[in-house]
Amino acid sequence: MAKRIDVSGLSAYYGNHRAIEDISMTVEPRSVTAFIGPSGCGKSTFLRTLNRMHEVTPGGRVEGKVMLDDENLYGAGVDPVAVRRTVGMVFQRPNPFPTMSIYDNVAAGLRLNGSARRKSEIDGIVEKSLKGANLWNEVKDRLNKPGAGLSGGQQQRLCIARAIAVEPQVLLMDEPCSALDPISTLAIEDLIGELKEQFTIVIVTHNMQQAARVSDRTAFFNLAGVGQPGKLIEIDETQRIFSNPSVQATEDYISGRFG
Amino acid sequence: MDIVNSPGEHPPNSRQPAVTRLGDRVFLGMSRGSGILLLVIMAAIAVFLTVRAIHAISLDHSDFFTTFEWNANLQPPSFGIAVLAYGTVVSSLIAMIIAVPVSVGIALFISHYAPRKLATPLAYLVDLLAAVPSIVYGLWGGLYLVPHLQGLNLWLNEYLSWTGIFHKSDPSSAARSLFTVGILLAIMIVPIITNVSREVFRQVPKAHEEAALALGATRWEVVRMSVLPFARSGIISASMLGLGRALGETMAVATVLSASPVLSARLLDPVGGTFAQNIAAKFAEADNFGRDALIASGLVLFVITLLVNGAARLIIARRKEYSGANA
């Protein structure tokens, strides 16, 4: 249950401002692809075009194609709600539903769109998802306690459990560790390594060591100047990007000469 | 300048008093003074009401809580609040049943559904409605709403009279009933409940809404999963504000209701009364003792308001653990 993403000629706008320009790339299934680049280069915006979250922002619109295997996510008649069920997302700050218990947080997606399931079935999925997010042992005795009572790192793993409970094809992660301490970060990174067995994972990160540690392929984004649209500079095997990139700007960024 | 000592914080292991600044002392004095003043005013009101009320009730010849009629000017005086308490609670209840869902709907529409071009003037309009004086609503209610609600009254009587509460004893009588009062009160409190609810809905963190969206929630599911639970206590507070206005409303009730000391479950009959309406109607002709008697009824209204507010606070506090406010 992992699909290939094929992006071609994609631009995204906020009103009349073009945030990213003419991006084409392929994201391989069952692998981790990292997006790196300076602030404002549009990597988060690009990530949000992959599950049609960009258009939720007032004035947000997208041109171009995003193919998920054979289906164009921006094709005529495609329901964005259905897209977001197929392409899950984890955000920068952990955002469990504060009014729900740990159990209900994980089950939240299962109860959407009028899908009726048996209690025992939901129980099973909740347990499987929490185990998948390496959180089960820590919370199995307090599933009915509020999710907001967990630590930041646990909350982020709860959000991952919530995202994988609906069995998406792709998992998008927008700087999932930037609000976490190093130990929680390590836990999430280990988890990403396990999750790529099942999912296509795309992760935006400001931490280049993290990109080097967790990803198979890395894409470098950059922008010509303030107010200019962000562009994809190159995408390659992570090892190549960090040792011998083909574009000078990439090497400058990675070696800390700018950005 | 000692940068370690910030005002109000004593440095550890030091017998020296903390450095204080004139501005801080003045501000502390002012805010403390305002707080104390508030308590003094509250206490003064309570003492005034209680003393005069007890005096009146002690001379009441019939039971204060169960008597229907209000004859404080008779010798011996005989008056009671049964009809007034019933009328106040019932008309406010009708108002809440109508106003809360409508207000939440309007507020949600403004904050989450309407395009910005429509939402801004709509929000402004609601604010404007909240500022209309109640006497204006009262005049409109008495002169326009009463005759125009006759049709609804007759329809309810025809199809729902089997429920008892919608049975109209005399179909030809005007719609000057508790039911009409409830509808007018609902119209009056919709703006304030809408206003406060909309403010709460706007404060729902974007992260909660995006969490639901990213799971594949439709717009309504986003509202149900993240907006309404977060705003729950705010909606309750907004409703309490509206209820407060409904319980104490005077002119709007006085212009609509044909007050008469009858306690009837039939909401369409032109009978009944409320505390505020009764006070307004009887105050001018009351002697000193009559005014004390009216104050006694005001005190009961005060207590009812306190009880309702207390109950609302309990509801909010019971699920504090899950409240979104501290997330």
Please state the ipTM of this predicted complex.
0.89
* Cβ proximity of A209 and A229 under 8 Å: no
Residue B71 lies in a domain: no
Single out the residue in B29, B58, B87 at which a domain terminates. Answer: B58
Banded pLDDT at B325 (limits 50, 70, 90): very low
**Residues B29 and B117 reside in one and the same domain:** no
* Percentage above 70 pLDDT, chain A: 97
pLDDT band at A66 (very low <50, low <70, confident <90, very high): very high
Name the DSSP letter for residue B3.
S
Same domain, yes or no, for B136 and B210?
A: yes
Is B134 part of any domain?
yes
Whether B72 is in a domain gets the answer no
Confirm or reject contact between B318 and chain A (CB < 8 A). Answer: no
- Decide if B216 and A85 are in contact by the 8 Å CB cutoff: yes
Same domain, B107 and B48: no
The predicted pLDDT at position B32 comes to 96
* Residue B9 pLDDT greater than 70, yes or no: no
Residue B91 sits in the same domain as residue B190: yes
Whether A201 shows a pLDDT value over 70: the answer reads yes
Residue B70 lies in a domain: no
Query: pLDDT band for position A224 (50/70/90)?
Result: confident
Nearest alpha carbon to residue A73 among A53, A43, A101, A102: A53
Assigned domain for B65 exists: no
The answer to whether position B10 is within a domain reads: yes
Look at B214 and A112 and tell me if their CB atoms are within 8 Å.
no
Distance CA A120, CA A163 (A): 20
Please check whether residue B241 touches A, CB under 8 A. Answer: no
pLDDT of residue A258: 62
Residue A240 contacts B where some CB pair is shorter than 8 Å? no
More confident: B11 or B245:
B245
- Is B211 in the same domain as B240? yes
User: Domain holding B116: CATH number?
Assistant: 1.10.3720.10
Range of the domain at B101: 78-325
Whether B171 is covered by a domain: the verdict is yes
In a domain, B90, yes or no: yes
d(CA B284, CA B290): 10
Q: Which residue, chain included where needed, has tokens 């069952």?
A: A30
Residues of B in contact with A97 (CB under 8 A): 208, 211-212, 225-226, 229
pLDDT at residue number B327: 37
The H or E element that residue B225 is part of is none
Looking at the fold, whether B155 and B48 belong to one and the same domain comes out as: no
pLDDT tens, position by position, B165-213 = 888 888 888 888 999 999 999 999 999 999 999 999 999 999 999 999 9
Note whether B38 and B169 are same-domain residues. Answer: no
Which residues, listed in sequence order, are joined to residue B211 by a DSSP beta bridge?
A: none
**pLDDT at residue B144 greater than cutoff 50:** yes
* pLDDT of B89 above 80: yes
A123 pLDDT higher than 60 = yes
A53, A98, A146: residue with CB nearest B214: A53
Q: Is the pLDDT of residue B10 over 90?
A: no
Domain count of the fold of chain B: 2
Give the pLDDT of residue B85: 93
Ordered strands of the A170-174 beta sheet: A71-72, A60-68, A5-14, A17-27, A230-237, A217-223, A32-36, A200-204, A170-174, A87-90
d(Cα A204, Cα B211) in Å, to the nearest integer?
A: 17
User: Are both B89 and B46 inside the same structural domain?
Assistant: no
Q: In this complex, do A53 and B213 lie within 8 Å of one another by their Cβ atoms?
A: yes
Q: Judge if B209 and B94 occupy the same domain.
A: yes
| Contact of A201 with A188, CB cutoff 8 Å | no
What is the rounded average pLDDT for all residues in chain B? 87
pLDDT band at A150 (very low <50, low <70, confident <90, very high): very high
* B222 and B286 co-located in one domain: yes
Q: Does B205 touch chain A (CB under 8 A)?
A: yes
CB atoms under 10 Å from CB of B290, counted, come to 20
Both B43 and B104 in one domain: the answer is no
Pairwise CA distance, residues B321 & B326, whole Å: 9
Q: What is the pLDDT of residues A72-97, one digit of tens each?
A: 999 989 999 999 999 999 999 999 99
Who among B211, B216, B322 is closest to A166 (CB)? B216
User: How would you class A55 by CB atoms within 10 Å of its CB: exposed for 0-12, middle for 13-18, buried for 19 or more?
Assistant: middle
Q: What are phi and psi of A37, to 5 degrees?
A: 150, 165
CB-based contact, A231 to chain B, within 8 Å: no
Contacts of B224 in chain A (CB under 8 A): none
Task: Give every CB contact of residue A9 below 8 A, 6+ residues apart in sequence.
Answer: A22, A23, A24, A63, A64, A65
Whether B261 and B69 have beta carbons less than 8 Å apart is answered as yes
Of A82, A108, A146, the CB nearest to B215: A108
Residue B257 has pLDDT above 80, yes or no: yes
Judgement on whether residues B27 and B124 belong to the same structural domain of the protein: no
pTM to 2 decimals? 0.82
Q: Decide which of B322 and B123 is more confident.
A: B123
Phi and psi at residue B190, to the nearest 5°: -55, -45
For residue A147, the chain B residue with the least C-alpha distance is B322
